[in-house]
Structure 1
Amino acid sequence: MKIAPPKLPSSLTDLNIKEAFLEDNYVSGGIVTSFDLDEVLEDKVIFDQIHFQHISMEGTQFHQVEFIDCLFEKCDLSNVDFGDAVFHRVEIRNSKLLGSNISQSRLTEVKIEDSVANYTSISFSKLKKVAFNRTTLNRADFIEASFDKVSFEKCELDGANFTETSLENIDLSSNTYEQLTVSMEKLADCTVSTEQAIGFAKSLGLIVK
C-alpha cells in the first residue's frame, strides 16, 4: 500500500515555536527542534508543513490539534493527549508514543515506523491509509476503531485490543504476539499465519491436535 508522504518544502528554516505561538495558533513551514510550550494547550492548534526533530512533547495535552504534512523524527510523544486530533499526511519515525492518547481522532495517509507505541490508545478513531511498520504496539487499544486500508508489518502486538473493530482485509501474519483481544465475529477475511490461526482456535475452546 502506497502512503502519500508529507508535502514538505525542499528547504525549511529553523522555527522558534514559542515566537510562532505568540502570533497565531497556526504554525507552518519550518523545522522544530525544541518544544517549550505549556503542557496544557487549551486552544485549537494547527501544525502545517513542520519537521519535528528530536523534540519532546511528553505529557502535553492538546484541546484540539491538526497535523498536516508533518514529519516526526526521533521524537518523544509519550503520554501526549492527542484526543480528537487530525493527522493528514504524517510520518512518525524512530519515535516514542508510550501511553499516548490518539482516541476519537482521524488519521489519513499516516505512517508510523520503527517506533515504540506500547499502551497507546487509538480507540474510536477513523484510520484510512495508515501503515504501522516495525513498531511495538504491545497493550495498545484499537477498540471500535474504523479501518480502511490499514496495514501492520512486522509489529509487536502482544496484548493489543481490537474489540469491536473489523479486521477484514487486515494481514497480521508478519506480526508477533502471544495474546490478542478481538471480536471473533469481526475476524472474517483477516489474514493470519498457521500458528496464529491455531491460537485463535484455542481461544474458541477448540482442541487442536
Structure 2
Amino acid sequence: MKITAPKLSSSLMELNISEALLEDNFVSGGIVTSLHLDAEQEDKIMFDQIHFQNISMEGVRFHQVEFIDCLFEKCDLSNVDFGDAVFHRVEIRGSKLLGTNISQSRLTEVKIEDSVANYVNMSFSKLKKVAFKQVTLNRSDFIEATFDKVSLEKCELDGANFTETPLKGIDLSTNTYEQITVSLDQLTDCKVSTEQAIGFAKSLGLIIE
C-alpha cells in the first residue's frame, strides 16, 4: 500500500513553537528541535508542514489539534492526549508513543514505523490508508475503530484489543503476539498464519489434534 509522504519543503528553517503560539494557533513551515509546552490543554492548534525532530511532548493535553504534512522523527509522544485530533499525511519514525491517547481521531495517509507504542489508545478512531511497520503495539486499544486500507507489518501485538473493529482485509500473518482480543464475527477475510488460526480456533473452544 502506497502512503503519500508529508509534503515538506526542502528548505525549512528552525522554528520556535512557543513564540509562534503566542501569535496564532496556526503554526506552519519549519523544523522544531526543542519544544516547551506544559501539561495544560492546548486548544485547536494546527501544525502544517512541520518537521518535529528529537522533541518531547510527554504529558501534553491537546484539544482538536491538527497535524497536516508533518514528520515526527525520534520524538517522545508518551502520554500525550491527542483525543479528537486530525492527522493527514503524517509520518512518525523511531519515536515513543507509550500510553498515548489518539482516540476518537481521524488518521489519513499516516505511516508509523520503527516505534514503541505500547498502551496506545486508538479506540473509536477512523483510520484510512494507515501503515504500521515494525511497531511495538503491546496492550494497545483499537476498540470500535474503523479500518480502511490499514496495514500491520512485523508489529508486536500482544494483548492488543480489537473488540468490535472489523478486520476485513487486514493481514495479521507477519505480526507476533501470544494473545489478542478480537470480535470473532469481525474476522471475515482477515489473513492470519497457520499458528494464529489455531489460536483463534482454540478461543472458539475447538480441540485441535
| TM-score normalised over the length of structure 2 | 0.99
Q: CA deviation at 1:68?
A: 0.2
Secondary structure at the aligned position of 1:30 is classed as strand
Secondary structure at the aligned position of 1:167 is classed as coil
Distance, in Å, in 2 between the alignment partners of 1:72 and 1:194 is 36
Residue aligning to 2:23: 23
Distance, in Å, in 2 between the alignment partners of 1:41 and 1:62 is 5
Distance, in Å, in 1 between the alignment partners of 2:13 and 2:183 is 48
Is 2:186 aligned against 1:186? Answer: yes
Residue aligning to 2:157: 157
Residue aligning to 1:9: 9
Is 2:66 aligned against 1:57? Answer: no
Task: Report % sequence identity.
Answer: 80
Q: Work out the number of aligned pairs and report it.
A: 209
Question: Where does the alignment leave 5 or more consecutive residues of structure 1 unmatched?
Answer: none
Distance, in Å, in 2 between the alignment partners of 1:138 and 1:63 is 26
User: Residues 41-97 of structure 1, C-alpha deviation per residue, up to 9 Å, x if partnerless?
Assistant: 342100000000000000000012000000000000000000000000000000000
Distance, in Å, in 2 between the alignment partners of 1:58 and 1:84 is 18
Distance, in Å, in 1 between the alignment partners of 2:201 and 2:96 is 34
Secondary structure at the aligned position of 1:147 is classed as strand
Distance, in Å, in 1 between the alignment partners of 2:92 and 2:75 is 8
Distance, in Å, in 1 between the alignment partners of 2:42 and 2:133 is 32
Is 2:130 aligned against 1:130? Answer: yes
Residue aligning to 1:116: 116
Distance, in Å, in 2 between the alignment partners of 1:22 and 1:124 is 32
Q: CA deviation at 1:39?
A: 1.7
Most deviating of 15-24 and 128-137? 15-24
- 2:98 partner amino acid: L
Question: Where does the alignment leave 5 or more consecutive residues of structure 2 unmatched?
Answer: none
Secondary structure at the aligned position of 2:192 is classed as coil
Secondary structure at the aligned position of 1:91 is classed as strand
Matches within 5 A, 1:87-98: 87-98=87-98
Residue aligning to 1:46: 46
Residue aligning to 1:199: 199
Distance, in Å, in 1 between the alignment partners of 2:42 and 2:3 is 31
| TM-score normalised over the length of structure 1 | 0.99
Give 4+ residue runs of structure 1 displaced > 3 Å after superposition: none
